[in-house]
């Protein structure tokens, strides 16, 4: 509250592994008008899933790939529970949902897989769930895999948009056109971003300032001025 933060994000360590603590913290945040965001792989089911997302205002869920082989070999997990979570959050909660897929060269970046994933998103989650394709860089046990080229990200973005997903972004790269939110009706730029900097804001009451088309999302009337600034929050 002293820092002026509008939200608290549970991230880096997946919050489903400390569900009780995340829920307690979320309750304390909501009591003070602070929103909560979960950044998670979505690998949770049953009552724990219901309890957790009941207290999250927004979630960015990793859809790491769209093959069981990837989840089995690289994640030591399974794809269907993640798809179940995505369906649950999108269709059975009020939690604002966005997806992120880290594209790893030769692992999950093939055209056929991207087509299948994009079509599943449209069919099960709808065209307005934002999708972020992020660039991979070599680390840990995948140091022999090259970084993701920008061309791979823009190709994936085009496949997803051609499938009907209206808001697709490229991350971990400097590419302002794919950082920008474009109005799906008139094609004008609604929110122009350059890394963490806002360059333009053309939203009025959640609608495109040029044509009035509703833009799905959770927006305040005016943008903040946080930018690249970081501030340590002390107890």
Higher pLDDT pick, 225 / 162: 162
Burial class (CB in 10 A: 0-12, 13-18, 19+), 163: buried
Lowest-pLDDT choice from 46-50, 51-55, 163-167, 228-232: 228-232
- Greater confidence, 164 or 222? 164
Q: How far is CA 36 from CA 39, 59, 80, 232, in A?
A: 10, 9, 26, 19
Q: Measure the CA–CA gap between 131 and 128, rounded to whole angstroms.
A: 9
Mean pLDDT, the chain, integer: 95
Question: For the segment 77-96, what is each residue's pLDDT rounded down to a tens digit?
Answer: 999 999 999 999 999 999 99
Beta strands, E only, the chain:
7-10, 35-40, 58-62, 96-103, 131-135, 168-171, 181-182, 189-194, 197-201, 203-204, 207-208
Lookup result for tokens 């046990």: 141
Band (232; pLDDT cuts 50, 70, 90): confident
Instruction: Read off the pLDDT of residues 114-156 as tens digits, 9 standing for 90 and up.
Output: 999 999 999 999 999 999 999 999 999 999 999 999 999 999 9
Structure tokens at 184: 């799906």
Q: SS3 of 204, please?
A: strand
Domains of the chain: 7-178 (3.20.20.70), 180-235 (no CATH)
b/e sequence 58-92, b meaning 16+ C-beta within 10 Å:
bbbbbbbbbbeebbeeeeeeebebbbebbebbbee
pLDDT in tens, 32-79: 999 999 999 999 999 999 999 999 999 999 999 999 999 999 999 999
Backbone angles phi, psi at 46, to 5 degrees: 65, -145
Instruction: Say yes or no to pLDDT of 226 above 70.
Output: no
Please report where in the chains the tokens 């829920």 appear, as a residue. Answer: 23
Compute CA distances 172 → 101, 135, 178, 179, 194, whole Å: 11, 5, 11, 10, 12
The Cα-based distances of 74 to 46, 85, 186 in angstroms read 24, 20, 41
Helix (H, G, I), strand (E, B) or coil at 8: strand
For residues 166-172, give the mean pLDDT. Answer: 97
Inter-residue contact 124 to 99 (CB < 8 Å): no
């Amino acid at each position: 509250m002293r820092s002026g933060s509008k939200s608290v994000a549970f991230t880096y360590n997946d919050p489903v592994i400390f569900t009780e603590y995340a829920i307690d913290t979320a309750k304390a945040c909501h009591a003070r008008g602070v929103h909560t965001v979960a950044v998670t792989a979505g690998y949770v089911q049953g009552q724990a899933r219901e309890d957790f997302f009941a207290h999250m205002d927004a979630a960015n869920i990793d859809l790491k790939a769209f093959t069981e082989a990837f989840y089995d070999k690289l994640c030591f997990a399974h794809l269907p529970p993640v798809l179940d979570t995505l369906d649950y959050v999108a269709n059975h909660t009020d939690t604002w949902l966005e997806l992120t897929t880290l594209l790893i060269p030769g692992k999950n970046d093939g055209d056929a897989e991207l087509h299948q994933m994009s079509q599943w998103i449209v069919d099960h989650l709808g065209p307005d769930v934002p999708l972020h394709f992020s660039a991979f860089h070599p680390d840990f046990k995948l140091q022999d895999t090259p970084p993701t080229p920008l061309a791979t990200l823009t190709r994936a973005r085009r496949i997803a948009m051609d499938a009907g997903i209206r808001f697709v972004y490229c991350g971990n790269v400097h590419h302002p056109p794919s950082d920008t939110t474009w109005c799906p009706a008139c094609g004008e730029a609604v929110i122009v971003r350059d890394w963490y900097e806002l360059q333009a804001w053309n939203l009025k009451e959640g609608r495109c300032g040029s044509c009035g088309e509703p833009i799905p999302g959770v927006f305040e009337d005016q943008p903040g001025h946080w930018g690249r600034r970081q501030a340590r929050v002390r107890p």
